[in-house]
Every structure is written in structure tokens, then in C-alpha cells.
Amino acid sequence: MSGVLRVNIETLANSLGRAVNVMEALEENIRPQKQESIGFENINGMLSVFTPKRWVLIETLCKSEALSIHALAKLLNRNFEHVYTDVYTLIEWGIVNIGENDLLYLPYNEFIFHVKLNDNSVL
């Protein structure tokens, strides 16, 4: 587990602006700093992915070696199907990875959340 995941809440225009900055740097042969990030247009979108139960799942993976979904469900004392749904949502967003022998692991040791409060799209 290493790396940082940045979670941004910003308008589409701001997100595209960051992409333009990266492209301009590349045109000038400036290598931009690699950054793992996911973005949401508003806080509700972020909270629909980072639910309280998914946070517990993330914390459990952070403290554990790689686990199967079955082992994770047992450890969390949750229904397998619900854990399965949560895991695959987190995999789709790139928050959790699945490796050898179908074992789950968290590729990040830090999450940074960036919310612009003066942006009308965050609420």
C-alpha cells in the first residue's frame, strides 16, 4: 500500500482546466507530476461512493493483508452480497484493487479530499 488518492469536488469546467494545464505542460516538454485522482461534481456524488460502511471497509483493508471478499464480509460481520456490491463499486472507482487469487487490497495509504466551498457545484 503506497500512494495518495486525491478526491476532488469541482465543476466540470475546473476539471477540464486542470487537464488543459497538463496538456500545455506536455507541449512545452514539461513533465507534469503524476497524480492519482477522482472527481465529483458535488458532495452528494462523493458521499454516494464514500458511504459510512464503505469507509469501514476501506479502513479494514488498510489494517489488513489482502483479503477475499468472503473473508472481508466475515471480518466486517456483514452480508456477503452487500460487501460484494460495495467492493465492486470501490473497484470501479479505482479505490480498491483486486490482485492475485482474487484478493482485495488498498493501493493507497492516504486520501486527500479537496472541496472548493465557494464553488456553487459542491452542495
For 86, residues 6+ apart whose C-beta sits below 8 A from its C-beta are 51, 53, 54, 57
pLDDT tens-place string over residues 82-104: 999 999 999 999 999 999 899 99
CB 113 within 8 A of CB 4: no
Mean pLDDT of the chain: 85
pTM of the model as a whole: 0.78
- 20-43: average pLDDT: 75
For 108, residues 6+ apart whose C-beta sits below 8 A from its C-beta are 1, 2, 3, 4, 5, 36, 95
Which of 6-10, 21-25, 65-69 has the least mean pLDDT? 21-25
Which of 1-10, 50-59, 99-108, 112-121 has the least mean pLDDT? 112-121
pLDDT tens-place string over residues 71-83: 999 999 999 999 9
- 20-42: average pLDDT: 74
